Structure 1
Amino acid sequence: MSARGYRRTAATLAAFAVLAGPVAAPAHADGPGIAAAGDCPASAPDVQVVPWALQRLLLDELWQHGRTTGENVTVAVIDTGVDDRNPQLADKVDDGGSLLRNRETKALIEGGGKDDQVGHGTKVAGIIAARRSDRTGFVGLAPGARILSIRQNDSEGNGDVATLADAIHQAVQRGARVINISQDVRGAATTGFTGYPELKAAIEFAEANRAVVVASTGNDGKEGDTYPGAFPTVLAVGASDRNNERAPFSQYGEFVKVAAPGVGILSTVPRSGQCVDNGTSFAAPYVSGLAALLVGAHQGWSAAQVRAWIEQTAQRTEHGPNRFIGWGVVDPVKAVTKAPDNPRDRAEPDPPVQLAAAPIVPRPVGLGETQADRDRRTATYVLGIGALLVALLIGGGVVMRDHRRRPTG
């Protein structure tokens, strides 16, 4: 990376860093070689290929068997705003307003929910609900869903925990059944700052109103809780790579519920086109899109049932969860097509594999003839008989020849 590139990355990371505990920021990609949020240009070209995260899905099966593409479901995106001038988001975004205030002067910053100066929120919204287009292979997981955009953060770190809590309340009051929060506060429960109780109360308010809250785990690549992801009723999402393993930058710990693709993720950018980015910020909306499909197909499910079913159907290599990818990497097709009428409120470990109902009885070792011995004996017989027949044919031929040559009279 050039010196200019390093300076740009460093500036972006500094802008998105969590300051003084209470400040929340978009979960940014972290470290050399990882594109930071905001590096993708606005008005990017359309990308024709189907991104890898969608190549694994049978989208028609996902939407047909699920009986919905997210219609009549509102997903709140609490972020940097969503620019619906992008054709894939046009007429799909409701303006939830802006809560941005300058953190020093407390003056209200101009702009509404559709004003995205960073591009972060537009990418998040596209992963959830971008409509299909002949110009690109990219599409959102729930293209029928609507987006409620609440502008609560920016590249200057003006969002804080108080405005995040307010945004959650507003999202619930405006009917959002899924709330995506691609930002985090590190160590909130242990720093003792005053915003923690308000944030906890907002999460409990969402749970009481059947709103599924999905949050990114953060991109420090270290172990440790981040909030709101670490609240028990929040679906905390880490980032996975193409091998279904934890991305190196993805924050991990016992609070991680599931993982979703977060490396090389294609999505919409302001004005037009698509661009690739990395981060748990873009893994969380993948899960929010799946939650919108489940809510659309099962309106009576509680938030706990939606979370539990996403966890239960995730792809994993262990019977239960671990601290790196939680219950596993989400499987949208399985979650939608196998959904029961009334799932449990919490995921359960997979039962151990049973080879057979009857016990395995050891057989005694004997010295009798084996199948291999019988095969060898049969082969010997066949060869012997074949050789005899050949000899008879040759002998018969010699006898007939001599008989014809014998003089008569």
Structure 2
Amino acid sequence: MPLATAAPAAADDGGQCTFPNKKYEGRPWSLQRVQLDELWAQSTGRNVRVAVIDTGVDTRNPQLTKAVDAKSGINLIPKDAKDANGYKLKRGKENGTTDTVGHGTKVAGIIAARPAKGTGFVGLAPDATIIPIQQNDADGNGTAVTLATAIRHAIAKKADVINISQDTANAVKPTPLLEQAVRAALDADIVVVASAGNDGLGGNVKPTYPASYPGVLAVAAADRNNERAQFSQSGDFVGVAAPGVDMVSTVPGGGHCADNGTSFSAPYVAGLAALIKSEHRDWTQEQIVAQIQQTAERSVAGHDRLVGWGVVDPVRALTEDDKPIEKPVADEGVTRAEAPTPAAVHLGETPEQRAARLATYIVVSGGVLVAAIAGSAVAVRDHRRRRAALTAGR
């Protein structure tokens, strides 16, 4: 069964992305929504390995050269694979560091691209390590069977997180080999993140695989308003949402392009998982997933089928982490305040009010008396002066 990786719509560059491409100078909106300094003060993803099962990861992009563990990579495209015209496919390097499509290079950049001069783009976990696994390409040379093989390779190479930005072409369950591989990864305490799919126009709801497997963190796409992107797949299997519109990232050869899709929401969450894993090495994959879900931004108390538990909040996930949780709680954050105590009503004068009134009278009376005495003294003085003047005049 083939697996899809294509984005649903053209990005800001009108779909004219070439490899290599010019640098994106600013800070992409998906990163502007995060206080990166505060985030990286907690974790940068150091010593965490993230397997990117995709179309390969091109290490010629300077932001990915030091991010990729090429020795652990693999190319699973069949050696007899053919392109769309029937010609033998140029598979590229056997370690998975060739990417003629650009999809896997974008995914890897969102996770762990290193900082570089001339661009504000950087990976969410800039010290994490990428394991490149080339399993799919633009000509459909990737199946549920090869995906299962890719997952097994990631387990063997000690991945802490696996990112799968692809899904089956229809809602039919694929070969059991895929589910077995996913279960093996979860049993190995690996966080498995998968894109929910891009077939959500018109409110279409259907399961996608491997996102729908129990234990997999399925990621929907959100727009700049923290609402579900119109193309994003909905369903009860959706775990969280993350930015997935106008997503700037690295491309083969160098530079950047923008793209849309849950394919680029998933690595945003995989990067967050890497940050948490680096900070909490003893947390299980279930606890990391629960932390991401619990701290997501949501407009309802619990889960919904559009954005799951909400749109991920990286800073909150790394700062509200005093202890691990096993499952997200629906009413978390809802405060049940006690009703205010009504003030006592006194129909007559209270002792405190009476004392205050008498004190006021005393102060006012004393002031009047002082003024009266002072006025009398002035009058007597003036009278004496007039009598003295009359006597002198005689």
The correspondence of residues 70-219 of structure 1 with structure 2, limited to 5 A, is 70-95=45-70, 96-101=73-78, 110-111=91-92, 112=94, 113-188=96-171, 190=172, 193=174, 195=175, 197-219=176-198
Q: Which amino acid aligns with 2:38?
A: E
What secondary structure does 2:238 align onto? coil
Deviations, residues 202-238 of structure 1 (Å, cap 9, x unaligned): 1111111111000001111221110110012101001
| SS at 1:227 equivalent | coil
Asked if 1:312 is matched to 2:294, the reply is: yes
Shift of 1:351: 4.2
Amino acid in the other structure paired with 1:24: L
Whether contact under 8 Å (1:78, 1:149) holds in the other structure is yes
Partner of 2:275: 293
Cα offsets for 1:179-221 (capped at 9, x unmatched): 0000001445x45x5x1x1111111111111110000011112
Which among 5, 14, 37 is matched to residue 60 of structure 1? Answer: 37
Distance in 1 separating the partners of 2:307 and 2:253:
34
Residue of structure 1 in register with 2:4 after alignment: 25
3-state secondary structure, aligned to 2:242? strand
Shift of 1:133: 1.1
* Residues 125 and 147, structure 1, Cα contact 8 Å, conserved in 2: yes
Matches within 5 A, 1:36-51: 39-51=16-28
Q: By how many angstroms is 1:335 displaced?
A: 0.2
Tell me which amino acid in the other structure corresponds to 2:198: N
What is the aligned partner in structure 2 of residue 11 from structure 1? none
Letter in 1 for 2:278: G
> What is the deviation of 1:137?
0.5
Contact 1:220 1:250 in 2 (8 A): yes
Code of the residue aligned with 1:168 in structure 2: it is I
> RMSD value over aligned CA atoms?
2.3
Q: Could you tell me how far 1:25 is from its partner in structure 2?
A: 2.2
**Equivalent residue, structure 1, for 2:330:** 349
CA distance in 2: counterparts of 1:265 and 1:363, whole angstroms: 59
Are the equivalent residues in 1 in contact too, given 2:219–2:239 (CA < 8 A)? yes
Instruction: Indicate the residue corresponding to 1:332 in structure 2.
Output: 314
Larger Rg: 2
In structure 2, give the amino acid aligned to 1:288.
Answer: A
Structure 1 residue ranges (4+ consecutive) displaced by more than 6 angstroms after TM superposition: 35-38, 359-364
Q: Is the 8 A contact 1:76 1:178 kept in 2?
A: yes
Give the letter for the 1:53 counterpart.
S
The equivalences for 1:210-229 within 5 A come to 210-221=189-200, 222-229=204-211
- State the TM-score, normalizing by the size of structure 2: 0.80
In 2, distance between residues paired with 1:351 and 1:219?
Answer: 30
Contact between 2:77 and 2:141, CA under 8 Å: does it hold in 1? Answer: yes
Deviations 1:26-51 (A, max 9, x none): 1x2225x5579985211111111100
> Are 2:148 and 2:177, in contact at CA under 8 Å, matched by a contact in 1?
yes
Q: Which deviates more from structure 2 when the two are superposed, residues 217-226 or residues 138-147?
A: 217-226
Distance 1:361 1:224, change over 3 A: farther
Counterparts of 1:85 and 1:37 in 2: how far apart (Å)?
24
Moved more, 217-226 or 37-46: 37-46
Counterpart residue type for residue 201 of structure 1: Q
CA contact (8 A) 1:128 1:143 kept: yes
Give CA-to-partner distance per residue, 1:262-320, whole Å, 9 cap, x none: 00110000011111111110000000000000000101111100000000000000010
Distance 2:135 2:327 in 1: 31
Q: Aligned partners of 1:253, 1:305: CA distance in 2, in Å?
A: 22
The answer (yes or no) to whether the contact 1:294–1:336 under 8 Å persists in 2 is: yes
Secondary structure of the equivalent of 1:257? strand
- How far apart are residue 362 of structure 1 and its match? 11
Q: What secondary structure is seen at the aligned counterpart in 1 of 2:62? A: coil
**Structure 1 alignment gaps of length 5 or more:** 1-21, 367-409
Partner secondary structure for residue 180 of structure 1: strand
Residues 70 and 38 of structure 1, relative CA distance in 2, 3 Å threshold? farther
2:223 pairs with 1:244: no
Aligned residue for 2:194, secondary structure, equals: strand
Which residue matches 1:3?
Answer: none
Counterpart residue type for residue 75 of structure 1: V
2:260 aligns with one of 257, 265, 278: 278
| TM-score normalised to structure 1 length | 0.77
Percent of residue pairs identical: 52
